[in-house]
Amino acid sequence: MNEPGSRYDELVQTLNLFATQAAVEPLAFGSAIDKLDHSAYTFTATLAVLPFLQPIPLGFFALIGSATFIALGLQLLKNEPKLVLPLKIRNVTLGLRTRQTLVNTCLKIIGFLRKFSKPRLSFLIEGKLGRQIGGFIYIAVGILLAVPLGGVVPFKNLFPSLAILFHGTAEVEQDGLMVAMALLCVVLTVIFYGLLIYLVWKFGTVAINHAINHFFWK
């Protein structure tokens, strides 16, 4: 098993390779994934979650991210050695500048989270149990991202995004506490969505959207 430091170095090398100019531009996402091993899970999840970190809901495009995380989770549960993604996701092309921006953002976020992580509670990240927990987190995030809440709800995807980033850091650092944080984010997402659904049922969509526009966008 690779040491945490070597896992981080491997991820950095993979990300930097993804950000370099390819023979064919723009680069299809599937072509990049085919060159990776088991790190494809962490790499794909980390890149796929970045668009969800901004406050504006992504609407239809959230379904693409949702399908990506569900596919990752199912294959992680089955311990598939090679990641397989739906054809529509594999065919998504990213230009050089877009890839470089995504990679730089990704490295900054993971580098920041590493300051608070270290190898501990390894049973939550290693072996069959670790794969099952990781698979559950990916599938849960995929389902939650697809929930249509209606209106413009700022930071709707914040907690699911953090769950993915915490789990990615857990993989890199072998930090079971980060896995626990990822699970907490899933629980907080369910609570947040449940609260929004209750408020819509209680006060109506128009009133909720008006309140959101007043407090967040003005």
- Is the full-model pTM beyond 0.85? no
Q: Which residue range is the domain that position 171 belongs to?
A: 4-216
Are the beta carbons of 14 and 42 closer than 8 angstroms?
Answer: no
d(CA 209, CA 187): 24
User: Tens of pLDDT along the chain (218 residues)?
Assistant: 556 656 777 777 777 777 787 777 777 777 777 666 556 677 778 877 877 776 666 666 677 778 888 988 998 888 876 677 777 777 777 788 877 887 788 788 878 888 888 889 888 888 889 989 999 999 999 999 888 765 556 667 888 888 998 998 888 888 999 999 999 999 999 998 888 777 766 665 555 555 555 554 45
d(CA 185, CA 51): 18
Domain count, the chain: 1
